[in-house]
Amino acid sequence: MQAPDPTFSLAALDPGAKPFSCGDKQEDRAQVERLAQELDALQDLLYADRRYKLLVVLQGLDTSGKDGTLRAVFGRMSPIGVRTVAWKAPSEAERAHDFLWRIHQQVPGTGEIVAFNRSHYEDVLVPVVGRGIDANEQQRRFAQINDFERMLTETGTVVLKFMLHISKDEQRERLQQRLDDPDKRYKFQRGDLDVRRQWDAYQQAYSQAIGATSTAGAPWTVVPADSKTHRNLMIALALRDALRGLDLRYPDDPTLQGLRVE
């Protein structure tokens, strides 16, 4: 998607598709590991180059794999120049400002990669489903997000936005696995079931948000995420290609040529 599309619908996309898979799960995992190592080298180059910034937005319903993506795709990168921000419900102080105020404080600086686990898009999802804002405010926020992201891209930030698209059946299985495993039960919250009951409303809200905010400068990529290995592979490939496309280079100081340390 390269321009806003008011007719976009998630229902038209298969969350079980595997367009980037070789068909062998073990080989897909191995390729993700190879990509993770290449991404580590590219991140080092980005940090040294200092001409660009990279913002990665991960959105998706509960259990879609945002944490797993961060571990698999970003886990090999040096902690220098890489940050993750996990967004929660806004605090009282944050609610006293416009909804993008807290977001702007966390966007990447030059040479930095920042990955958002959830993002400013929560503010056009949760209050839409919960009817905390009306249709006019929803459209205003879409326009404000587009303006905000255009400002970021015009000042050197590459914006990659991924919607991790899982099926309702796959979410049920993953939620049940959390309940059945004492070591994973801490991830489960009773509110997850309330959100699940609003599945159709969230699918519609996501469709509206993606359709309204997928622009040439900050397009959305919908990632079929029923397969964890495919999800990681698809995102790793997209991230690798984006960094390769920046023509990154290590800076050089010619005055250091021939210098010897005594």
Has residue 251 been placed in a domain?
no
Tell me what the pLDDT averaged over the chain comes to.
95
Alpha-carbon span 42 to 60, nearest angstrom: 26
Q: Please determine, for residue 1, whether its predicted confidence score (pLDDT) is greater than 60.
A: no
3-state class (DSSP) for residue 213: helix
pLDDT, tens digit, for every residue of 202-260? 999 999 999 999 999 999 999 999 999 999 999 999 999 999 999 999 999 899 988 99
Has residue 211 been placed in a domain?
yes
Instruction: Kindly tell me the burial class for residue 198, based on how many C-beta atoms sit within 10 Å of its own C-beta (0-12, 13-18, 19 or more).
Output: middle
**What percent of the chain lies above the pLDDT cut of 90?**
90
Q: Please determine, for residue 59, whether its predicted confidence score (pLDDT) is greater than 90.
A: yes
Segments forming the whole domain that contains residue 241: 10-245
Has residue 87 been placed in a domain?
yes
Q: Please state the domain count of the chain.
A: 1
For residue 125, report the phi and psi dihedrals to the nearest 5 degrees: -120, -65
Strand partners, 34: none
pLDDT, tens digit, for every residue of 188-204? 888 889 999 999 999 99
Has residue 3 been placed in a domain?
no
115 C-beta neighbours (distance < 10 Å), count: 25
Has residue 131 been placed in a domain?
yes
Confidence of residue 32 (pLDDT cuts 50, 70, 90): very high
Q: Say which residue the tokens 């993008």 belong to.
A: 100
Has residue 168 been placed in a domain?
yes
CATH number at residue 113: 3.40.50.300
Q: Please determine, for residue 112, whether its predicted confidence score (pLDDT) is greater than 90.
A: yes
Has residue 255 been placed in a domain?
no
Has residue 191 been placed in a domain?
yes
Q: Please determine, for residue 163, whether its predicted confidence score (pLDDT) is greater than 60.
A: yes
List all residues 6 or more positions away from 195 whose beta carbon is below 8 Å from its beta carbon.
61, 62, 202
For 21, the enclosing helix (H) or strand (E) is: none
Alpha-carbon span 1 to 166, nearest angstrom: 19
Per-residue confidence (pLDDT) for residue 2, from 0 to 100: 54
* Closest residue by Cα to residue 42 from 251, 252, 249, 230: 249
* Residue 39 token pair: 């991404």
Confidence of residue 5 (pLDDT cuts 50, 70, 90): confident
Alpha-carbon span 57 to 228, nearest angstrom: 18
Q: pTM for this one?
A: 0.94
